[in-house]
Structure 1
Amino acid sequence: MLPSDSDERHADKPLPYAPDQTDYADAQDRQNFDEFTEEHGQVVAKRERFYRTKRFWIRCAIINVILLAIFIPLLILVILPKMVQSIVNGSTMSMTQLNMTDATELGMKVSIAGGIANAGIFPATIDFPEPIVVSWEGKQLGSMNMASVKASGGKATITDATSFSIIDKDAFSNFAKQMVQAVGRTIKGIKLTKDLKMLGMNGFGKVTIDSFTMPGDAPNNAGAQVSLVTSMNNPSPIGMVLGTIVLDLFYQNTYLGQVAADNAVLVGGSPSPLKLQGVLFRQTNQTDLDNVSVLMSNFLAGNVTVTTAKGVSVKPDGVNAVSWLSNGLLALTLNVPLQSPTPLNVIRDISIMDMGMIFNPAAPFAPTASSKTVNAGFKLPFNITVGMQNVSNTMSIVYKGKVLGDIDSAVWSAAKSDIKTGIIVFGLPASPLIIKDDAKDEFQQFVADLTVNPEQTFGVTGLANAISTTPMGTVKLTGIPFNSNVTMKGLNFNAINAAVSNVVVAGGTADHITMNQQVALPNPSALSVTGGSVLLTVYDKPTNQYLGELSIPNLNVVPGANPTATQFLFHPDNATLRDQFLSQYLVGATFPLKVVGTKGSTALPELQTAMSLVTLGSSVSGLNPAPRLVTSGTAVSTLSTLLGNRQSKTTVNMINPLATDLFINGMVAQVSWKGTFFGTITATYEQTVPANKGATTPELILQHPMGVEFGVFLTTQFVPAYPLIALGGAMVPFDLDTMISVRVGGPNGYAANIHYVQQQEILTKMTLF
């Protein structure tokens, strides 16, 4: 049979065959080769991968067995201890708290809290099979046993309570020699040497005073009892139950006293309250007294005074001192800033019982202020016996929120104090009140309000000084601040009636009549004001017409009635009012007045606003008892004059009740007898009637009425009533209504007219021959 075309096409290919077991293995090996590829024009197979061969893994197993046989002993016996030692060397230890209790000369109980860091990645248990020895500067100080510590994740927490046995009594520092357990095996012989850095107490850093009191006097006049609570800041983790601690107190080398605290506990890492009680000693040396003065003054003023406290002893059981603790305390000097934890308002509720202000034109806005009695409440933060002997102060006057001026009292004044009632009484010596440049207007208003208001409130603030007796000795307290409102009664001038008395017409000029009088300026307040010359304007109250000025040569208003010598310069604009006032004055009438001030009333700028607000009620009374100006007279008539021109020659005896000359220019008088018109005197003449004396007028003509009626009156009524007229004369009473033209003060005096009416008082000698 001939081959077909398909057979020829596959003639070059190998014929298929059935594989045996060996061929199968070879086939598996061939799977380890990559497919054929061409290289340099020939078809080749890729290189076999070594790690896929059995021979490789057999060799690795044999090598691992050999290495483990060698390395495991080496790891356990050589490498692991060194690795652990390296971990120990690289680790750090810290102490967060170390509390000590039951201290004795031989040791104490301690409780420890701390930690280990950088302790490696392996969990471990750290054992301390031997006592930990604490050293400092190459000296072994003591030892203690510690419990195991478990470390995980490179960290461990130390918490233990144990006993510490003292070898040396100076300090506590390093740990050494310990055994570490790690990687499931106990590794012995690992050495631990660490520098354990702990914060020191740093002298207790910032010590604060939570309270400071003096509860009473010490027995036997030894000084003052003292009690204070301090907060001692302890940055160290070391805490300790100290028991009884005794400290000496000093300030500026002055030994102040000794204090002790029972059941004292020092807390590590936090402030530790310490309640100290003791005695501040009585001082006798002046330098020491001065230091105590500064100390107490600063405390009362709220200022800081740095005192020192030095250790004396520590008695953990309250009885027996432990030398190593006491020695440590003896080396300690505490800086204690003594300051009240809260502001003290020592001086309060000031009452100025009287206040004087003297204004001086030579020193404007610098009046002199003074007070005889100032009461002040005081409250000391102490319960000791204190007596104020002398006081001085600097004081500022505050009005409506503004400081007006300052009073600097450099003079010490005597003082009395009552510690039970908390009252001190002292005086304010005469001292200048310096008004501030920007407060002059406000000061003027302040004085004005005190002048016209019934009461006024203002503030006083400043610093007080006091020489005081205390259980520690006589001290000078300085710079004690005070701030208080003061309410004083004002002068209330506009509500008073300034009564006028003892009015004397003392003189006159062409411009005015001068009247001297006493004017009462009642002052219900405790304020005294001295203000020099004052000129007020006077008005007639019913008509509000101008009368003149009231001159006060020296204004000095003190508490009380204040009868004040004044001058009334009388010169009204209205002539009718002028004559009416002067005429009624002579007969004892009373005149209501209104007295008004202006800014021009005083040359003192401090008082100008006050004067401009003053409106006083007043009244002036005339001569009392009212004198008779005409005492007697004469009239000579004949039958021919009575029947003819009906004229009688007349003279009048007059007196001048004024304290100044009265110059008369003439008069017009109406004469009547028992209601019947008797005649008129019209005369122009010049005559001076001396002050408080009498004079007889020149001969005047009394013109009788004309007509039959007057003749009938004479013959039927008048002459029959006085038959002695025809026999030589008789004393006959007449009524007189006269207007006298005068100049008060003499020929060059103040011109006025006096209207004078006198009834049934003029006894005139009449005769017909």
Structure 2
Amino acid sequence: MSSRASSLNLYDKELPYDPDEIEYLDVATTYSEEKDDGESVFKEYCDSRRPIPIRFYQHRRFWIFCMVLTVVFLAIFVPLFIVYILPIIAQEMMNSANMQVIQMNMTQPTETNMHVSVHASVLGIPKIFSATLEFQEQVVVSWNNRLIGSMNLAPVQVKNGNGDFWQETTFYISDTAAFGDFVKTLSKATVKAFGLSIKDLKIDKMLPMNGLSNFANVQLQSFDLPRDAPEGAHIYIRAEIPNPSPIGMTLGTITFDLSYKTAYLGQVTAKGVTLIGGQPMMLVCEGVLLKQTDPVHLQELSELISNYLGDVPSMAFAQGVSVFPDGVNQVSWITNAITSTKMTVPIKAVQKLEVIKDIEIKDMDLSITAANPWMPTVTSTAVGASFRIPFNISINITDLSNTVLRMAYQGREFALITTATWNRTMSDMANNKIVFTIPPTEVTIQEAGRDAFQKFLTSVTQQDASTLEVIGAARGVADTSLGTVVLHVPLKTSVQLQGINFSAAKPTVSDIKVTNGTTEGVTIMANIAMVNPSIFSVSLGRVNLMVSCTIDGQTEVLGMATIPSMIIRPGQNTLAGVIDYHPANTQFGNKFLSTYVAGGMINATIFGYDQSSDIASIAPTLASLRLTTMLPGMTPPARILTGGNGAPTLGAILGSRRIPFTVTAVNPLDTTIWLNTMTVDVFWRDTVFGSVRNARIPFALLPHVEARSPEFIVPCPTGFQFALFLVTQFLPLNPQVIAGGTVAVDIRASLETTLGGASGIGYPAALNYQQKAVPAFLKLDVSFVGLTKRSYETDHPESEIDNHTLYDMVTSKIGYEPSIHDTSAYIRWLQRSLTVLYPEEAKVHIAD
């Protein structure tokens, strides 16, 4: 300090602060030698020596004061906290805490007490506290400000804000009339905390608990009338009752009175009943339903049973009558509770019942007209069904009426039938079989169901099977052990029906007749036979269908077939149809007619189109119709050309080779055929005997009448080979023709005709026709002039000679003509004549 003071004295200056109150920084200061200003040096020095301030809490006297104050505060506050504040805090915790009864099961009940198992919880105490609740007095239970009972509870440990406990104790009943509900608890408890006891804390809590609500929401598990009883019928009921309350109780044997509306039905008893808190209670009740005689009560009983059969819930009532917890003795407060209980019991089948099922429709007739396309007439002689009443009691149905049948397809209703009547004769009630009859009834197809009706018709006609949905009900009067009841019996089932399936029907076409012809076309009548495997009869009125055929791989439409009245019944059906034959391809049409006349089988398809019917409701069904069949030709095949007649001379055959000929023909059709032009090839054992080309021989063939044609010329083949064929093959096998006889020939002909009238009137058609074994009459004239003349003129082309001389010259070479009755000699003579007529060819033939 002396050095510091001496330095300051050098400047003879006064310090700006008290040196006794300040601790200076001990910092060596270097002054600049360059500064010669004393004031500046002093200022710089003072700045370098600025002191650090001392805070108030750094003084020793402050801490001494605090310690004294703390001792005084604790001496006063701790007693106050323990005596006054802590009980207030504890009571406040009790006030804010929640209490919850989780389950309370009551067993061994008596008039004054019972054994109780309590599962409860104390919630809402701050987690920083751990405590033991000691109940100094009994827990008192009250309801509506009425004391109903009390019980002792053991201490409850509370940790982490929760005190969960399960205790068994005895509950003492104070007011038996009010007992049954835990609403309010009132008690005093001691809370032990911080090592001290705080007494006389009050717990006053409302405990919210779900009640039984008069056993509401009963769920029926089973309802049965298993057998008759002397007073009516035994009844068995199994029901589940939810128990949202935490209260459980042993109820033992309970008896209930059953009623529906104003009708008293009888009593049922449940045994061994135990109510468990928070769990559903199962009641199994048995008893007797009483026979009803009062008309009003019978009507109500009928309604109850009908609703059950129809899956409609009916609200019956069960009123408590008595309860015996141990099965023998009553407890008044339990009896009062049960007898004041009236349960609502919904009587409803657990599973949907099928009282009437397995419907069988024996037949159903649908008649539809263009005038009323959406109002078909429906008829059935038998709609059968099996029925099953789900009660094993005596039931004798004495009447069925007011039958309602709703028809639906694919879930959409389309018709309602209300005219079905019970057929007593056909029904078999002993075997649960009933039969209804539907008289002819006009049924309106609902507008919303028209599409479903059309789809149903299409399904019936185009598929092997179809499903019809039948929904309805019938009113039945039945004598039962409970009385005569009127039942409304529902029915709902699906009926599998055999379909017609036209596409697989394979109809048979027969009796084809060509009956008329015009320049536009030909009318063909035919019968179409087909089997309907279904139960449906369908009257569809006039139906138009198209007909196409396939011949030699070529398919063409022939025309339209009309069925004036299409009625299809179950089993075999024959429909008369008219075909308007008018093919666009005339060559194909000629092929069809030729095949038909020749007896050939023709693949045909009969199909519908958008104009198949004038009835709007069935037009789409017929448009999808398609039948395949075979059209048969004439059986036996037609023999149009029945014979021929030619009487040529031998010279004509071997010489000019021009045979005058006529034919006889029969018209196999039911309309006139005009034969205009004929092209014919005649064969004998595959050798051409003669041919004619485009011979005009117009003549008419009336239906099924034989006629002879005008004479026409058939040229014979030329050459030695044909002559050789005649004398070496034909005549040896057919010697009768020498004197005149019949020989069977084969014919291949093309006939240009008009059907139904002459050219310009009938329908032009070309028939390509082949026929075997056509009998032809031939007679060879004995005159040999033609032969000799040809031979002579060949050798002497410029000579002129009369026939007599020529005959003499020829016969001188081969001999005289033998008798035609000696056929063998005559044939040998003709064979020798070839050497005269064909000398060069004969030499070659003989050489061969």
CA distance in 2, matches of 1:418, 1:318: 49
Query: Is 1:275 aligned with 2:281?
Result: no
Query: Is 1:102 aligned with 2:108?
Result: yes
Counterpart among 157, 172, 177 of residue 164 in structure 1: 172
Counterpart among 281, 297, 306 of residue 310 in structure 2: 297
Change (3 A) 1:706 1:519: closer
CA distance in 1, matches of 2:154, 2:682: 144
Counterpart of 1:569 in structure 2 is 580
Native 8 Å contact 2:249 2:275 kept in 1: yes
Counterpart among 443, 460, 476 of residue 488 in structure 2: 476
Give the superposition deviation at 1:536. 1.9
Counterpart among 555, 560, 577 of residue 571 in structure 2: 560
Counterpart among 619, 631, 635 of residue 631 in structure 2: 619
CA distance in 2, matches of 1:576, 1:151: 113
* Paired AA for residue 224 in structure 2: M
Counterpart of 1:207 in structure 2 is 217
Counterpart of 1:245 in structure 2 is 254
Change (3 A) 1:81 1:567: closer
Query: Is 1:334 aligned with 2:343?
Result: yes
Query: Is 1:535 aligned with 2:517?
Result: no
Give the superposition deviation at 1:761. 7.7
CA distance in 2, matches of 1:419, 1:287: 25
Give the superposition deviation at 1:332. 1.6
* Paired AA for residue 628 in structure 2: L
Deviations 1:463-509 (A, max 9, x none): 543556687645224485x6x6958556152x443222233444444
Deviations 1:164-209 (A, max 9, x none): 3566534367778989899999999x89896865646352465242
Counterpart among 301, 317, 323 of residue 288 in structure 1: 301
* Paired AA for residue 397 in structure 1: Y
**RMSD (Å) for aligned C-alpha atoms:** 6.7
CA distance in 1, matches of 2:773, 2:91: 144
After TM superposition, the structure 1 = structure 2 runs for residues 93-492 of structure 1, keeping only pairs within 5 Å, are 96-104=102-110, 108-112=114-118, 146=152, 149=155, 159-162=167-170, 164=172, 168-171=176-179, 199=209, 201-204=211-214, 206-209=216-219, 211-214=221-224, 216-220=226-230, 222-223=232-233, 225-234=235-244, 236-255=245-264, 257-279=266-288, 285-298=298-311, 306-337=315-346, 360-362=369-371, 392-398=404-410, 406-412=414-420, 431=443, 434=446, 451=461, 455=464, 463-465=471-473, 467=475, 473-478=485-490, 489=499, 491-492=501-502
> Which structure carries more strand by proportion?
1
Counterpart of 1:40 in structure 2 is none
* Paired AA for residue 276 in structure 1: C
Give the superposition deviation at 1:243. 0.5
Query: Is 1:602 aligned with 2:612?
Result: yes
Native 8 Å contact 1:242 1:263 kept in 2: yes
CA distance in 1, matches of 2:208, 2:682: 128
Q: For residue 301 of structure 2, give the secondary structure of its aligned residue in structure 1.
A: helix
Counterpart of 2:560 in structure 1 is 549
TM-score (structure 2 length as normaliser): 0.57
CA distance in 2, matches of 1:752, 1:578: 8
CA distance in 2, matches of 1:179, 1:677: 143
Change (3 A) 1:104 1:762: farther
CA distance in 1, matches of 2:534, 2:491: 31
Counterpart of 1:728 in structure 2 is none
CA distance in 2, matches of 1:496, 1:412: 32
Native 8 Å contact 1:128 1:146 kept in 2: no
Change (3 A) 1:185 1:648: closer
Native 8 Å contact 1:228 1:276 kept in 2: yes
Give the superposition deviation at 1:261. 1.8
Give the superposition deviation at 1:294. 2.2
Give the superposition deviation at 1:439. 5.9
CA distance in 2, matches of 1:338, 1:460: 31
* Paired AA for residue 106 in structure 2: M
Q: Which moved more, 1:524-533 or 1:169-178?
A: 169-178
Native 8 Å contact 2:274 2:281 kept in 1: yes
Native 8 Å contact 2:355 2:490 kept in 1: no
Native 8 Å contact 2:527 2:575 kept in 1: yes
Native 8 Å contact 2:150 2:174 kept in 1: no
CA distance in 1, matches of 2:91, 2:602: 118
Unaligned runs of 5+ in 1: 1-35, 38-48, 66-70, 636-645, 723-731, 765-769
* Paired AA for residue 406 in structure 1: F
CA distance in 2, matches of 1:514, 1:174: 104
Q: For residue 298 of structure 1, give the secondary structure of its aligned residue in structure 2.
A: coil
Q: Percent identity?
A: 23
Native 8 Å contact 1:93 1:194 kept in 2: no
Deviations 1:356-414 (A, max 9, x none): 7665545668877888778889999877788996864445423xxxx676344445465
Change (3 A) 1:271 1:517: same
CA distance in 2, matches of 1:568, 1:541: 18
Give the superposition deviation at 1:594. 0.9
Q: For residue 599 of structure 1, give the secondary structure of its aligned residue in structure 2.
A: coil
Native 8 Å contact 2:454 2:621 kept in 1: no
* Paired AA for residue 290 in structure 1: E
CA distance in 1, matches of 2:125, 2:210: 26
* Paired AA for residue 552 in structure 1: I
Give the superposition deviation at 1:565. 1.4
Q: For residue 589 of structure 1, give the secondary structure of its aligned residue in structure 2.
A: coil
CA distance in 2, matches of 1:197, 1:531: 79
CA distance in 1, matches of 2:62, 2:584: 147
Q: For residue 290 of structure 1, give the secondary structure of its aligned residue in structure 2.
A: helix
Native 8 Å contact 1:367 1:432 kept in 2: yes
Q: Which moved more, 1:418-427 or 1:595-604?
A: 418-427
* Paired AA for residue 512 in structure 2: V
The alignment covers a number of residue pairs equal to 657
Deviations 1:184-235 (A, max 9, x none): 99999x898968656463524652426224273344583463332313324x
CA distance in 2, matches of 1:122, 1:695: 132
* Paired AA for residue 102 in structure 1: Q
CA distance in 2, matches of 1:566, 1:347: 44
Give the superposition deviation at 1:592. 1.8
Change (3 A) 1:426 1:763: farther
After TM superposition, the structure 1 = structure 2 runs for residues 5-84 of structure 1, keeping only pairs within 5 Å, are none
Change (3 A) 1:630 1:204: same
